[in-house]
Amino acid sequence: MKNILIIGAGLSSSTMISYLLDKSGEYGWSIVVADVNKSVAESKIDNHPNAKAVEFDIHSDLALTKLVSENDIIVSMLPSRFHPLVAEECLKQKKHMFTASYVSPQMRAYDDEAKEKDLLFLNECGVDPGIDHMSAMKVIDDIRNKGGKIISFESNTGGLIAPEYDNNPWNYKFTWNARNVILAGQGTACFRHNNKLKYIPYNRLFERTSRMSVLDYGEFDVYANRDSLMYQEIYGIEDAETIFRGTFRRPGYCEAYNVFIQLGLTDDTYEMENAEKLTNRSYLAAFLPEPNGGELEDVLCRYMNLDRNGEVFRKIEWLGLFEEKKISKGKHTPAQILQSIIEPKWTLDEGDLDMIVMQHRFVYELNGKRFKRLSSMIVIGKDTVDTAMSITVGMPVAFAIEEFLNGKFSVRGVQVPVIPELYEPILEKLSPFGVEFIEEEFEL
């Protein structure tokens, strides 16, 4: 019998947990789901005979040591900042580890020791990062195997609301961690375009967008996502003239959200004085010049050069920023307060379905000719539990665990799924879950 520990029972874990439970009888697995909220963990296992739920706080060293000691495979679905704590314990106790998150420099530093101890630490095995790596590498390897050369690579992904349920002015609802959405893009994005390095600081990120269409799902705006340059080496496309990774939003979202960025409402580095006494309206007013007798709405429009009858103003008004509604208790940084205002408005309604949109754009040379290949994926969620986000984040991890425990993976160390040994079986297993790519190719 193999014991699997899943730390973190949030939205993105649901489909993965369900699949592993379904397979537990066939493979003789015992599954422990640990979460800071035990009732959430209990809801995910639903009294399954091969599983148990436990209350767990990542800040408790003793609890972490005990849980890791009792299990063979450790799955961390915690916020990424906690993965190194789990990884260090896995190294001490010689346990394999799986996550859906980016490889941090700290995680990368564990590579040599993990290899020495014959351990697999598989990271970036979700959707973005994860399915994006696997699907892109499948095409890149196919082009290279034919003798082609990658000239340009662009990859964009977005977690959005399915068109039939897109019923608010922002054309957006939370389909994953709300805090991550509020803080998205902070830092400087960098990429290569036509052999020139480009950098976009956070205060300009949501202004420097491009627009494109994906299959029959309409138009999207794209903003640059983090450091695209690191993928030159990871994907083996160091000679590519363009390499860019971005995030999809519906048209108009970035322009409106940029108002919050320019005002400083997404700052998470300090706490506001007397935050418990603020209302939505006084919170917004704190970041604007004095009205001098005018309405706050007009002050915002003058300060940010907005049309009070325009779409951007309508989006902000719809969120309730001008209402005299008390700020939620315990919210003190500008970003935390903004999240508390937005979250009730962007929460999925009962019956809503979400959508993952992903598209890779390749330009390559082969036999003296240039070609453009588009590889596009749309995944629609099944319900508010088995969301598209939960399917695409959790199922690659679940399949990776299944393949590993069945002896299919020989690679060790800190890995991401960019080699055929890892990505081929996972992509094959994802297909019945609606994770399929539509390929289009044109000669240029």
C-alpha atoms less than 13 angstroms from C-alpha of 396 in its C-beta half-sphere: 32
For 28-32, 77-81, 302-306, which range has the lowest pLDDT when averaged over its residues? 77-81
**According to the model, what pLDDT value does residue 356 have?**
97
**According to the model, what pLDDT value does residue 1 have?**
75
Q: What separation in angstroms does the CA of 124 have from each of 112, 256, 395?
A: 18, 30, 12
Strand partners, 250: none
- Phi and psi at residue 408, in whole multiples of 5°? -90, -20
For 158-199, how does the pLDDT look when each residue is reduced to its tens digit (9 = 90+)?
999 999 999 999 999 998 789 999 999 999 999 999 999 999
6 neighbors 34 (Cβ within 8 angstroms): yes
- Find, among 404, 429, 427, 401, the residue nearest to 17 by Cα: 401
Classify residue 315 by its DSSP letter: H
Strand partners, 53: 33
d(CA 382, CA 287): 41
Return the beta strands (E) in 367-415 as ranges.
369-380, 413-415
- Find, among 71, 80, 177, the residue nearest to 390 by Cα: 177
270 confidence band (pLDDT: 50, 70, 90): very high
206 neighbors 262 (Cβ within 8 angstroms): no
Write the DSSP string, 3-42.
EEEEE--SGGGHHHHHHHHHHHHHHTEEEEEEESSHHHHH
Average pLDDT of the segment spanning 86-108: 96
For 211-263, how does the pLDDT look when each residue is reduced to its tens digit (9 = 90+)?
999 999 999 999 999 999 999 999 999 999 999 999 999 999 999 999 999 99
**According to the model, what pLDDT value does residue 80 have?**
87
Q: Which CATH superfamily is domain 2-123 in?
A: NAD(P)-binding Rossmann-like Domain (3.40.50.720)
3-state helix, strand, coil in the chain (%, to 5): 40, 25, 35
23 confidence band (pLDDT: 50, 70, 90): very high
Average pLDDT of the segment spanning 314-331: 94
Buried-state track 8-26, b at ≥16 Cβ within 10 A, e below 16: bbbbbbbbbbbbbbebbee
d(CA 210, CA 170): 18
For 131-145, 376-390, 411-425, which range has the lowest pLDDT when averaged over its residues? 376-390
- May I ask the CATH class of domain 131-256+350-387+438-443? alpha beta
Average pLDDT of the segment spanning 35-61: 95
Strand partners, 374: 361, 440
**According to the model, what pLDDT value does residue 177 have?**
83
Average pLDDT of the segment spanning 275-290: 95
d(CA 393, CA 432): 15
d(CA 417, CA 337): 37
C-alpha atoms less than 13 angstroms from C-alpha of 348 in its C-beta half-sphere: 25
Average pLDDT of the segment spanning 66-71: 96
> Virtual CA dihedral for 138, 140, 144, 146, nearest 10 degrees?
60
Under 8 Å CB-to-CB from 311, ≥6 apart: which residues?
169, 252, 256
- Give the domain ranges of the chain: 2-123, 131-256+350-387+438-443, 267-346
pTM for the structure as a whole:
0.93
Given a cut of 80, whether residue 293 has pLDDT beyond it is: no
Residue 234 parent element (H or E): helix 230-234
85 neighbors 107 (Cβ within 8 angstroms): no
Q: What is the largest CA-CA distance in the chain?
A: 73
